[in-house]
């Protein structure tokens, strides 16, 4: 006869409510871990998806994920000329905030080096990759843009031609992919008046250069579009991602490019480390602290619940002792209830979590390692929390039945 299950059956309503309460608490612990995993996954998504061998960034900066990096777009061609380089693509990434349906709408603009890169490597779940050099975009599902939707950024209108899944920035904003030139246009979109002022300023700058004095035709070009005057225009891309030929050691290429005075070059792993140690580290510590606190709170709450359940049964426990029950019978009664409470609360946390996590504002990623670890912790705190109840039960004297 199992006394623990009989007692639970007798107080089933209270036990269910307690289980749900502890389960919700464990769900938050589970969710915290999942949010951290989601944070790491979001942060490293592009690095992992692009998987280049090298990242070339502005000199003495840590790359586009850690800080602002600005390099000229013609660096792509310079790098392509390095022996052993298979491909080099400009990398442009920036975040916009607009209003959509009267709500703030954040979108991370990502440039693709069209025509080499049409976005075929992306997880496209509907539509197609980019086919045209301009005015097409791929949007992540989280941006809630339907296929064929036309969206105005700056002076131009872009059509959603494909939808991606689970592509979000380290900040958790949904990504949209454009050709590199469109991404730049969106990034550097300025009003007509600002353009006129910039051209005047550029003209004034060129006038003071030898080039302007010796090459009068250059002066005329300063008044044209930026794209026609790259040498005088502002730096326009964040980084260049480089892939090396098969059989070539990326470190060899890295050693060549790193000698250039205007850029820094990092391996993908290094870029990943910068990202995790910079952008994610503080969030990781914060979430880790919350998780630990919540586990302690859960343990205290469980201990109090088990203690209260034991106190409620002290008279029965004294009676059990009086009729000669061994301590193991009493220990089993309390420990089994604590374990059952812990296991069922964990199951409740898992089920409710699976149901609610997709609606969380940040991505929650549950991995089996974290789930098993939490299950182990729950079993441990169930045992520890039952110890207080067991200690109390074992000190009860059988003569308390007579009280």
Partner 1 sequence: MKQNSNNPVTLKAENLTKVYGSGHTEVVAVRNVSLAVSRGEIVALLGPSGAGKSTLLTLLGLIRPPNMGKIIIDDTIVFENHKAKVNVRTFRRQKFGFVFQKTNLIPFLTAAENVRLAMEIDDQPAKASRKRAMELLEYLGVAERAENMPSQLSGGEQQRVAVARALANRPSLILADEPTAALDSVRGRQVMELFAKVAHEQNAGVIVVTHDHRSLEVFDRTFEMEDGQLRESGSQ
Both tokens of 192, joined, read 């007509």
Find out whether 337 and 301 touch, Cβ atoms under 8 Å: no
Q: Which of 62, 94, 272, 321 binds partner 1 (CB under 8 A)?
A: 321
Both tokens of 401, joined, read 């039945």
Nearest-approach distance from CB 391 to partner 1, in angstroms: 18
In the complex with partner 1, which residue's Cβ is closer, 264 or 337?
337
Number of residues this chain uses to bind partner 1 (CB under 8 A):
23
Find out whether 363 and 166 touch, Cβ atoms under 8 Å: yes
- CA-nearest of 32, 75, 93, 28 to 275 is 93
- The binding track of 6-35 with respect to partner 1, each residue x by CB under 8 A or -, is xx-xxx------------------------
Options 118-126, 213-221, 321-329, 384-392: segment touching partner 1 (CB under 8 A): 321-329
Q: Which residues of 161-171 are buried (b: 16+ CB within 10 A; e: fewer)?
A: bbbbebbbbbe
In the complex with partner 1, which residue's Cβ is closer, 172 or 398?
398
Taking CB under 8 A as the criterion, which residues in 359-398 touch partner 1? 397-398
In the complex with partner 1, which residue's Cβ is closer, 5 or 120?
5
Q: Is 325 in the site for partner 1 (CB under 8 A)?
A: yes
Q: Is 402 in the site for partner 1 (CB under 8 A)?
A: yes
Angle at 233 between CA 232 and CA 236, to 5 degrees: 140
Options 3-11, 86-94, 252-260, 278-286: segment touching partner 1 (CB under 8 A): 3-11
Q: Which of 315, 367, 369, 380 binds partner 1 (CB under 8 A)?
A: 315
Nearest-approach distance from CB 401 to partner 1, in angstroms: 6
Beta partners for residue 90, in sequence order? 240
Nearest-approach distance from CB 43 to partner 1, in angstroms: 52
In the complex with partner 1, which residue's Cβ is closer, 57 or 309?
309
Q: Which of 316, 347, 383, 392 binds partner 1 (CB under 8 A)?
A: 316
In the complex with partner 1, which residue's Cβ is closer, 219 or 325?
325
Query: How far apart (Å, rounded) are the C-alpha atoms in residues 43 and 206?
Result: 41
C-alpha to C-alpha distances, 44 to 127, 180, 203, 362, 375, nearest whole angstrom? 25, 21, 42, 15, 27
Nearest-approach distance from CB 382 to partner 1, in angstroms: 21
Beta partners for residue 99, in sequence order? 104
Segment (H or E) for 83? none
Residues 6+ apart with CB under 8 A from 322: 398, 399, 401
Instruction: Please give the residue ranges that form the binding site for partner 1 (CB under 8 A).
Output: 1, 3, 6-7, 9-11, 315-316, 319-326, 329, 397-399, 401-402
């Amino acid at each position: 006869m199992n006394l623990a299950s009989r007692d639970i059956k007798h107080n089933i309503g209270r036990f269910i409510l307690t289980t749900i309460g502890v389960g919700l608490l464990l769900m938050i612990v589970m969710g915290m871990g999942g949010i951290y995993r989601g944070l790491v996954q979001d942060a490293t998504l592009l690095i992992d998806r692009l998987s280049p061998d090298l990242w070339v960034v502005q000199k003495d900066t840590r790359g586009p994920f850690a800080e602002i990096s600005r390099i000229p777009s013609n660096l792509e061609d310079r790098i392509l000329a390095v022996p052993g380089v298979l491909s080099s693509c400009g990398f442009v990434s920036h975040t916009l905030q607009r209003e959509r349906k009267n709500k703030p709408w954040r979108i991370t603009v990502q440039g693709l080096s069209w025509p080499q890169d049409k976005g075929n490597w992306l997880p496209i779940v509907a539509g197609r990759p980019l086919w045209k050099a301009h005015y097409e975009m791929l949007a992540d599902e989280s941006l809630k843009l339907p296929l064929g939707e036309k969206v105005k950024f700056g002076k131009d209108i872009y059509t959603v031609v494909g939808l991606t899944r689970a592509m979000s920035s380290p900040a958790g904003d949904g990504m949209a992919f454009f050709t590199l030139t469109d991404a730049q246009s969106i990034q550097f979109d300025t009003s007509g008046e600002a353009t006129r002022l910039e051209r005047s300023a550029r003209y004034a700058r060129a006038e003071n250069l030898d080039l302007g004095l010796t090459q009068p035709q250059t002066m005329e070009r300063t008044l044209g579009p930026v794209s026609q005057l790259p040498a005088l225009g502002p730096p326009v891309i964040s980084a260049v991602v480089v892939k090396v030929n098969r059989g070539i050691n990326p470190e060899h290429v890295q050693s060549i490019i790193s000698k250039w005075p205007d850029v820094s070059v990092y391996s993908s792993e290094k870029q990943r480390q910068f990202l995790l140690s910079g952008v994610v580290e503080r969030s990781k510590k914060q979430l880790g602290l919350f998780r630990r606190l919540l586990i302690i709170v859960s343990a205290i709450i469980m201990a109090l619940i088990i203690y209260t359940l034991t106190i409620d049964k002290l008279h029965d426990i004294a009676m059990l002792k009086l009729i000669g029950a061994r301590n193991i019978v009493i220990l089993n009664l309390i420990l089994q209830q604590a374990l059952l409470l812990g296991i069922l609360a964990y199951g409740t946390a898992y089920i409710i979590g699976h149901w609610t996590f997709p609606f969380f504002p940040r991505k929650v990623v549950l991995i089996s390692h974290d789930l098993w670890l939490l299950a182990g912790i729950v079993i441990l705190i169930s045992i520890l929390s039952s110890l207080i109840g067991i200690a109390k039960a074992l000190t009860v004297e059988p003569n308390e039945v007579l009280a």
